[in-house]
Amino acid sequence: MEKQKKEGKTRFIGLTTHRNEPEVIRAAVESKVYDVVMTAYNFRQPHRVEVKKAIAFAAESGLGVVAMKTMAAVYWDRKRKHPINAKATLKWVLGDKNVHTAVPGITAFDQLEKDLSVMEDLTLTPEEKASLKLGDKLAQTGLYCQQCEKCLAQCPNNFDIPTSMRSYMYAYGYGNLFEARKTLETVNMAEIPCKSCRTCQVTCSMGFDVQKKIIDIARIKAVPEEFLV
């Protein structure tokens, strides 16, 4: 990549991180290779304070910072009855002066208008602040898997829980069944070990009932392609 840059084929080099964000961002800065980092950053990350510090370090070191996964999987619940307040999530992220831009997913003009309206004033209103705590009130863990991998060592069957949870997030959060299936196809699922576990031994850092979610999302493998819209 450095060669490409020297030859003028690219102006900037960047990396993207969905997990271990603080360590990856700091390593990117220390490598002195990268010009920009794109990182998952949202109000639901249990380690958001560490991510914030790493982002500040990157910005102070002259790197550009792009935030993604800003909406933390869009819904609080599987039935999609309780959307996460998109405007509030974006304000929360862009309110950090060290974040230079964000890449929220947009699939409709009203979403675009809502996102652009944030630029008028980044101050979170009291209602918006309260909306970011709605999950507690609803007793919902949300759908955002932070890909921390803390579950991996706890599963005696070494099942790839983080990838399955990412698939679940694509299906129920983003409503993207095609992406959900594609993601799940990377997991060796000849047999779902969770079906034969009487009790799941995994404690997820986001509070997920991973056994229930895995058995649920595994059904997508049997869905005919034409229904994956």
Instruction: Give the range of 28-36, 108-116, 157-165, 176-184 binding ligand SF4 by CB under 6 A.
Output: 157-165
Note whether 151 binds ligand SF4 by CB under 6 A: yes
Find out whether 82 and 134 touch, Cβ atoms under 8 Å: yes
Note whether 149 binds ligand SF4 by CB under 6 A: yes
Residues 158-177 that bind ligand SF4 (CB under 6 A): 159, 161-162, 165
Note whether 205 binds ligand SF4 by CB under 6 A: yes
Q: Which of 18, 52, 78, 150 binds ligand SF4 (CB under 6 A)?
A: 150
Edge-to-edge strands of the sheet including 101-102? Answer: 14-17, 36-40, 64-68, 101-102
Integer angstrom CA distances of residue 191 from 69, 146, 177: 31, 25, 21
Rounded to 10 degrees, the C-alpha dihedral 87/88/93/97 comes to 100
Tokens encoding 8: 């003028």
Give the contact letters, 174-203, x = binds to ligand SF4 (CB under 6 A), - = no: -------------------xx--x--xxx-
Three-class secondary structure of residue 9 per DSSP: coil
Q: Which is nearer to ligand SF4, 123 or 199 (CB)?
A: 199
Instruction: Give the range of 101-109, 111-119, 141-149, 172-180 binding ligand SF4 by CB under 6 A.
Output: 141-149
